[in-house]
Chain A
Amino acid sequence: MPQIKCNDLSLGYGSREILSGLSFEVGAGDYLCIVGENGSGKTTLMKTLLGLQKPLSGTIEFSDGVTAKEIGYLPQQTDVQRDFPASVREIVLSGCLGRMGMRPFYNSDDKALAEKNMERMNITKLQKRCYRELSGGQQQRVLLARALCATRKILLLDEPVAGLDPKVTAEMYELIAGLNREDGVTVIMISHDIDKALRYASHILHIGGECFFGTRDEYRRVRKEKEAENDG
C-alpha cells in the first residue's frame, strides 16, 4: 500500500509550468531517488510534497497512516544557519515541535526522543557544541537527527551530500541507507549523483526532459537501451 501517491501533477510558480503529467507512488520502506538536471524542478517537487506550495493541478494522496505533517525534512542549508547561535541539542529538540500541538514547552518524552536520535546519529557528544562551529558532515547529522524527531516514517532529503568531501559523503549515504534498511524509514532523496542513486535506491524518478518512474532495475535497463540506440 503506497504511503504517498501523486496523480498527474503539474508544478510551477504562478503561470509558469515547470513540470507536468507527473505520476508516481512511494510505498512503505521504499528508497526513492529523484534525479534530474538543475532547474528541472526537483526542489519544487519536494516543496510540493511537503505542502509548502500547491501543485498547479493534480493531486497528492497520503495514506497508510501518514499525513503531510509526519514527513521529516532535511533541507539544504541556508545562509541564516551559517551564523546562527544554537547548540546541537536545541536544534535536535526543535524537531519535536510539530507533534506538540499547543503545548509551549518540551516534556520528558520529547527530550528522550531527542536523546535517542542524537545517539542514533552519533552526535551525543556534540550536544552542547555550537552548530555553526561543526563540520559540514556533523551539521548534516544534526539536521538528520532533528528530522527523525519529526517523523518515524518518511524522510525527505534535499541534496544531503552537497558540499561534503568524498569520505563524509560515503558515510552519509551509509547512514541514510541504514535508516532505510534497519529502521524501515521510507527515504525520498533529491540527488545529482546518478551512480550513487543507482547503488542505494530501490526506485528512481527522473524528471526534466523525459520523465521516468520505476524501480532501479527498470531504470538501468532503459538507460542501457538508450545508450545502445545512441551507439547504433
Chain B
Amino acid sequence: MADIFNTLAFYLQKPFVVNAVIVGVLIALCSSLLGVTLVLKRYSFIGDGLSHVAFGAMAVAAVVGFTDDMPLVLAVTVISAVLLLRMGKNAKIKGDAAIAMISVGSLAVGYLLMNLFSTSSNISGDVCSTLFGSTSILTLSPFDVWMCVILSIVVVLFFVLFYNRIFSVTFDESFAQATGQRANVYNLLIAIVIAVIIVVSMQLVGSLLISALVIFPALSAMRVFKSFRSVTICSAIVSVVCALTGLLTSILAGTPVGSTIVAADIVVFIIFSIIGKITGGKE
C-alpha cells in the first residue's frame, strides 16, 4: 500500500501529471453539468454526433499542419452544433437522421484525410489516440492547459448564471416560451456550450468516449436523487471523483486514460442503480 502512495507522490511531482489532473478535473466538472439537460432533452445524440465532427475537424487541422488545432476544431464544432439545432426544426431530413449523417460522414472524411495526407508513420496510432484519447492528456502543452481552464470557467459561469433558465427550458419548453422566455436562444446557447465541452473533453477521453463522460454521471445521480439541484451537484461530484480515480489508476497501472475513466463511471452507475432500487422503493 505504501508503495502505491510513494509512486503516486513521485508522479504528482511531475508537471505533466499535475497538468493532466487539473485539466481532467475541470473537464469532468464541465461535462457533467449539462448531462441532465442533455439526457432529458434527448440531445445525447447531438453530443455524440458533434464529437465525430470534432474528430473530422481535428484531422483537417492535422493535415493543414496547425500546431494548435483547438481553435479550428472549436469553431467547426460550434458551427455544426448551431446547424444541427436549426436543422432539427424544419428540415426535410429529420433530426436524428441528420445527426447520423453528419457524424459518420465526418468520421469517414476525417480518417480518409489522415490516411491520404498524414506525414506520420503511425497513422493507426494517431487515429486511435484521437478516438480514444489514449495519451493526449499526458502530453498537454501550456496553451492547451490555459485554453481548457478558460473554457471551463466560461462553461461553469454560463451554467450558474442560466441555471434557472436551463431548468425551465429543459422541463417544459412550451411553458417557458409561452411566458415570454426566449427558449430558442437558450437552446442555442446550450448547444454551443455542449460543443465547447466536447472539444475540451476530447483531450481527456477521445472523441468516441465523450458521450459517456457527459451522460453517465447524470444518469447515476438520477438513480438516487430527486431534485434538479441535488442531481446536478451529485453528478458533478461523481464525475470529478471518477475522472480522478480513472486518471490516477491509469497512471499507476498503465491502462488507457479514457477507457479507465469511463469504466469507473460504469461502476458508479451500477452502484447507484442498486442504491436507487433499495432506497427508492418505487420501481
Contacts and interface: CB of A to CB of B under 8 A. Distances in A.
Given A94-B164, A94-B168, A97-B168, A85 B177 contact: no
B195 interface: no
A75 interface: yes
Interface string B173-184: 011111111000
Contacts of A133: 226, 282
B227 interface: yes
A30 B165 CA distance: 32
Contact of B40 (A71, A72, A80, A129): A80
B277 interface: no
A84, A95, A156: which has the most chain B beta carbons within 10 Å? A84
Nearest to A49: B178
Given A85-B225, A85-B228, A51 B178 contact: yes
A19 to B, nearest CB: 20
Interface residues on A, range: 35 or more
A73 B175 contact: yes
Contact of A68 (B161, B171, B180): B180
Given A98-B181, A150-B179, A80 B164 contact: no
A86 B167 contact: yes
B229 interface: yes
A67 B139 CA distance: 57
Contacts of A52: 174, 177-178
Nearest to B231: A85
Nearest to A78: B172
B61 interface: no
A50 interface: yes
A49 to B, nearest CB: 9
B28 interface: no
A80 B177 contact: no
A176 interface: no
B68 to A, nearest CB: 33
Contacts of B231: 85
A7 B40 CA distance: 39
Given A90-B167, A146-B175, A85 B162 contact: no
Contact of B174 (A72, A73, A106): A73
A153 to B, nearest CB: 13
Interface string A69-101: 101110100101101111100110111011000
Nearest to B40: A80
A80 B171 contact: yes
A52 B181 CA distance: 11
Contact of A97 (B42, B161, B179, B227): B179
B259 interface: no
A97 B181 contact: yes
Contact of A69 (B40, B180, B221): B180
A154 to B, nearest CB: 11
B281 to A, nearest CB: 9
B222 interface: yes
Contacts of B179: 69, 71-73, 95, 97-98, 150
Interface in B150-200: 160-165, 167-168, 170-172, 174-181
A232 interface: no
Contacts of B163: 104
B167 A85 contact: no
Given A52-B174, A75-B178, 14 more contacts: A50-B177, A68-B180, A73-B174, A75-B174, A80-B40, A83-B40, A85-B225, A85-B231, A86-B171, A86-B228, A90-B228, A94-B168, A106-B164, A130-B226
Interface of A: 47, 50-52, 68-69, 71-73, 75, 78, 80-81, 83-87, 90-91, 93-95, 97-98, 104-106, 128-130, 133, 146-147, 150, 156
